[in-house]
Amino acid sequence: MSKIKTFPIGGIHPDKHKITTDSPVVFAGLPEVVTIPVKQHIGAPAKILVKPGDKVKVGTLIADADGIVSSDVHSSVSGEVVKVEAVEGGVGYVEDMITVKVEGDEFEPSIDRSPNISREIPFSADQIVAKIREGGIVGMGGAGYPTPVKTTVPEGKKIDTLILNGIECEPFLTADDRLMTEKSEQLVIGAKLLNKALGIQNAIIAVDENKPQAIAALEAVTKTYVGVNVQVCATKYPQGGEKQLITAITGREVPSGRLPADAGCLVQNVGTVFAIYEMVMKNKPLFERIVTVSGDACLHPANYLVRIGTPVSWLIEQAGGLTPETSQVVLGGPMMGTAAFNINAPITKLTSGVLLLSDNLVARRPEAECIRCGKCVAACPMGLQPYLIGWLMHDHRIDELKNTHVLDCIECGCCAYTCPAHIPLLDYCKLSKMELRKKN
């Protein structure tokens, strides 16, 4: 095993709460209806191709990518389209969605449902990228950037290193952990597909040291695959941030305001890479994903394989339902996730977790005066001064914010987590970024 690596600046060590690490992925089942958003990605919403009364199967294309930065959307169930309308999403925004009444579970015949692992890669680089586009695959680590766009190297740039992000540093979440443990060879083949698409032979699977089962499974598989290796990283949050991970793995830094390609790297979440394997080798579009349902107020924490469009509330019921202790439902992780505005909203391609949290974890304490301790500065993985950003934003001194480099903030929440005065520094950073972007 190579030396354990990490990033050099800032970071914190929140309680891990990885209570579902040993919970195998189980199929969540099918609800009575699914409601599928046509925008589950950064960029333009997909163009709706169906209307009420249409019949669809699992994997049917129901919305077509509208432009380069967009992504196809496929039905996750078989049945009848009953509504095409604007619906309130999980964070309160009204979005166009397609509602399908579930009738059986009939797949498109082109999807290979056999359990056999497809190892031979007969496709060219262009064919691989085209298949990724057809599969509606997006970044599943949270950003949702359309994967075919990210996989296309910008003119004048050169990628020499592919990094598979298996860090999953958010507390409670274990979806990626279980994926790496249970589907290790398929994941490695997915890395080989991306290597071929990029024209390189250097894929590194970065795994947090707190995932021993995943590390063992991946190291056993990579012994038989050239060009794919495992790198164990120290348990530190936010190790899974793209810029932090690139520095940890390669020693390179992504320049301020630039992209990983400027450091010769492409970073893909392991869930995305597995989806690439399934689409390219099995012709299976992205219509389901693993979701961790957990939290200190959750009765039966588990890792579920969930069809896109499944109501969050329905999934919560599979894990025992809302409990009296539940103070907040969070979509994603507790550090960077979002409080659910509407728990009847659908699971999307970007939903890594559904957390039921008690007041012990989410209650905000009264804000006090800054004591100039500097803990927020020491914790910031981007080397910023969160206390200064907070002061300037509080006083609405927007022009002065330009010199704080707040646009480099990755919104990890380390500053707010460490602040002994309970100042909402993350909120101030987010507001600062919004104000500066409005002025530009």
**pLDDT tens digits along 364-401:** 899 999 999 999 999 999 999 999 999 999 999 999 99
Task: Report the number of secondary-structure helices (H) and strands (E) in the chain.
Answer: 14, 17
Residues 6+ apart with CB under 8 A from 315: 28, 291, 293, 304, 306, 347, 354
For 140-169, what is the mean pLDDT? 91
* DSSP class per residue in 6-44: --SS--B------TTTT---EE----SEEEEES--SSSS
CB 308 within 8 A of CB 76: yes
**Cα angle vertex 76, ends 73, 81, to 5°?**
85
The answer to whether residue 420 scores a pLDDT higher than 80 is yes
CA 267 to chain centre: 12
Cis ω on the peptide bond leading into residue 122 (within 30° of 0)? no
For residue 303, give both structure tokens.
Answer: 């890792």
Decide if pLDDT at 93 tops 60.
yes
Q: Is 67 left (phi over 0), alpha (psi -120 to 50) or beta?
A: left
3-state secondary structure of 259: coil
Check if the beta carbon of residue 170 is closer than 8 Å to that of residue 212.
Answer: no
Q: For residues 355 and 19, give the distance between their C-alpha atoms in angstroms, rounded to a whole number.
A: 12
- Residue 238: cis peptide before it, omega within 30 degrees of 0: yes
pLDDT at 252 over 90: yes
- Mean pLDDT computed over every residue of the chain: 95
Please give the pLDDT value at position 156. 85
pLDDT at 435 over 80: yes
Strand 47-48 and strand 61-64: the pairing is antiparallel
Query: In this predicted structure, what is the pLDDT of residue 94?
Result: 87
333-371 burial, b at 16+ Cβ within 10 Å, e below that, comes to bbbbbebbebbebbbbbbbbbbbbbbeebbeeeeeeeee
Q: Which of 197, 261, 199, 204 is nearest to 227 (CA)?
A: 204
Query: Which residue bears the tokens 């075919």?
Result: 148
Check residue 180 and give its pLDDT: 98
Q: What is the mean pLDDT of residues 162-186?
A: 98
Intra-chain end-to-end CA distance of the chain, in Å: 48
Structure tokens at 325: 């202790």
pLDDT of 317-349, one tens digit each? 999 999 999 999 999 999 999 999 999 999 999
pLDDT of 1 higher than 80: no
Reported as a pLDDT band with limits 50, 70 and 90, residue 305 is very high
Does residue 91 have a pLDDT over 80? no
Strand partners, 369: none
Which pair of structure tokens corresponds to residue 23? 């919970």
Between CA 288 and CA 44 the distance in angstroms is 21
Radius of gyration (C-alpha) of the chain in whole angstroms: 21
pLDDT of residue 155: 84
Q: In whole angstroms, what separates CA 226 from the centre of its chain?
A: 27
- Residue 36: count other Cβ atoms within 10 Å of its Cβ: 29
Q: Give Cα 10 to chain centroid, integer Å.
A: 22
Amino acid type, 63: A
Chain CA centroid to CA 252, Å: 23
* pLDDT value of position 220: 98
Phi-psi region of 10 (alpha: psi -120 to 50; beta: other; left: phi over 0): left
C-alpha to C-alpha distance for 174 and 109, rounded to whole angstroms: 32
Model confidence at 440: pLDDT above 80: no
* pLDDT interval class at 257 (50, 70, 90): confident
**pLDDT above 70 covers what percent of the chain?**
100
Residue 144 — very low, low, confident or very high, per pLDDT cuts 50/70/90? confident
The least confident of 87-91, 214-218, 262-266, 289-293 is: 87-91
